[in-house]
Amino acid sequence: MSEYELRRRMGDRRFWTDYFGATFEGAERYPELADISLSFPVDDEYGLVLEMREIEFRALMLRCPEAAEPACIAYLDEAHPMPLGLRWTELDLIGRCAAWDTPGLPHPGVAVALLAPFIPIVEGDDAGMAIALLQAALRHIAEAADPYGEFGTASAAGLPDRYVQTFMELCDLRDADLYWRHDPDAGWYLDQKSHGDRTLYSYRKLSNLDFPFAELKACEARARRRLADAPDPAWRTPDVVKLLGDITATGDLSATGSLLTALRKAGCDNATVLAALAEPVIPVQAC
């Protein structure tokens, strides 16, 4: 699917209410949620793939060189959903990698909003960061999808606060006693402190030997290396280093305009980096 077609669909409020299961009962479903495959690459070998066959089935796949076909790590259907497959820190890394090469997918933006149903907000997993990412993605999704107003119909007029709040509540599972545990061999897996009203619907359990734990760890490691190696060393001029150090140390984003100017003088031409530092500055995007 082309970036133009993606933006056209993402600019429709009804797309998002259907996607998050928040459309009122009895309404006809969004007619174009069928046979969509979206890729969020880390590089040529690793990445995530979201496959949709109408709204009834959505699968989150992991692409890796060890497998001929992407491995399913989570899915949503109307019968036996297993939606919880990623951590927010993993999405943040992969989303940044995807945005680096694809200015049409700013981070946080479309990738975070589309993949949020597969990533629970749970206690002890930097819930504050997760909420900030999701809020930024949802509040700016219309602008990210339709930056030039090409599809400026009433249905593409943005997401009102009540929709943002509803979508946030659907992803927030802090009342379900879910938490992430770390195993020295497998890595991170999802567990539940008690068995209350909610059931843990996830393939990412330590007991599931078919889950691609090793491949997902390799993907995360590749994403970290990719982001560390991506900036051109020539951009690290004294002015850039000083401004970046000051912003990192204080958290004060008032100097992002100066940093943007310094990066341009240093030869930075990456559209994603430049857009993240341009006004209006979105904190979780600029950082």
pLDDT in tens, 112-140: 888 988 998 887 767 778 888 888 887 76
Looking at residue 137, its pLDDT comes to: 83
Question: Is it true that the peptide bond before 108 is cis, omega within 30 degrees of 0?
Answer: yes
**Lowest-confidence pick of 6-15, 34-43, 227-236:** 6-15
151 and 26 in one domain? yes
Crossing angle of helices 127-139 and 88-101, rounded to 10°: 40
In this predicted structure, what is the pLDDT of residue 135? 82
Q: Are 115 and 64 in contact (CB under 8 A)?
A: no
Q: Does pLDDT of 25 surpass 70?
A: no
What pLDDT shows up at residue 64? 92
Q: Is the pLDDT of residue 287 over 70?
A: no
114 and 74 within one domain:
yes
184 and 206 inside one domain:
yes
Confirm if 93 and 227 have CB atoms less than 8 A apart.
Answer: yes
Strand partners, 74: 60
When mean pLDDT is compared across 23-32, 46-55, 159-168, 175-184, the lowest value belongs to 23-32
Confidence of residue 150 (pLDDT cuts 50, 70, 90): very low
Residue 216 confidence class, pLDDT cut points 50, 70, 90: very high
Domain boundaries, position 158: 3-229
**pLDDT confidence of 31, banded at 50, 70, 90?**
low
* Res 285: pLDDT: 59
Note whether 142 and 269 are same-domain residues.
no
Q: Which of 229, 250, 268 is the last residue of a domain?
A: 229
Query: How many domains would you assign to the chain?
Result: 2
Q: What is the pLDDT of residue 127?
A: 78
Q: Which of 212, 229, 246 is the last residue of a domain?
A: 229
According to the model, what pLDDT value does residue 233 have?
87
Same domain, 254 and 201: no
Note the pLDDT of residue 35: 72
DSSP states along 152-180: -SGGGS---HHHHHHHHHHHB-TTTTEEE
145 shares its domain with 281? no
Same domain membership, residue 258 and residue 217: no
Residues 6+ positions from 175 with CB-CB distance below 8 Å: 198
Task: Report the alpha-carbon distance of residue 20 to residue 8 in Å, rounded.
Answer: 18
Place of tokens 């280093």: 241
Q: Mean pLDDT, to the nearest integer, of 34-42?
A: 82
CB 104 within 8 A of CB 8: no
**What pTM, to 2 d.p., does this model score?**
0.81
Q: Which residue has the higher pLDDT, 285 or 48?
A: 48
